[in-house]
Structure 1
Amino acid sequence: MRLLTDRLERDLQTAAGMPPTYYELLVLLSEAPERTMRMSELAHWTNSKPSRISHAVNKLEQSGWVRRKHYEGDRRGWLATLTDEGLAALEKAAPRHLQSVRAHLIDLLTAEQIRQLGDISEVVLAHLTDEQQQH
């Protein structure tokens, strides 16, 4: 699996100039109402530490892809908003990333293998989620 993730990461970096963490954040923001989420929500949905998300959002902000502002009513909380430039970067990256995922995973499998992979993934995810909630 590590070879697959390394390849997908390399392809995304080459094609779009961004690591997978940035891509994931852009996707989450693009799907959020008004393309905006609290930084704490981004950390939750990416299963990342807030400091890691803050660092990534700083880089995205420097690229002009995300804008950050204080959450009204809570000066400690921050909101991240996907800019038009960030949406354009995501729209450029998405087809290339999908092409890479298809070439290195999906197109190699039969329909039955894809179904089995989904079933296996659900079992592993449920186990890891339960384990994480216990700690």
Structure 2
Amino acid sequence: MTIRRTILAVTAALGVIVGAWAAFWPTSFYDAFPGFGRIWIAIDGPFNEHLIRDVGALYLALAGASVAAIFSRGPDAGRVVGVAWTVFGIPHLGYHLAHLDSLEPIDVVGNVVSLGGSLALGIVLMLPESKRARSSEPGERIGA
């Protein structure tokens, strides 16, 4: 498995976990995200089922795109998925960076690391593959 496919698998898992929780169990997501006794959503305003389900659907859509790119024969699909994760990740991280004051220090670190990490994965996916990576998997590039 290439590095790009591994990163796509990580983004797919992230999207499925966060997305399914928010889309199908919005009250639980609001009350208990990210889990482990920490609470990041409920401290930021009143419960809005519609908004939380929409966020879940967005994460599921990103997960679906990541899965589709895993099975793509070339690197372009993974790069496009990287654009999507990055476009989502920049304002998402930006919002949370501007609203860290109500979080405990451990939650500040968790928030910045998790959101910054998912943004970084998107950015890495956008990068062109190295020549070595392109030549390591026969049939990866159609017509090459």
Same fold by TM-score greater than 0.5: no
The TM-score with structure 1 as length reference comes to 0.31
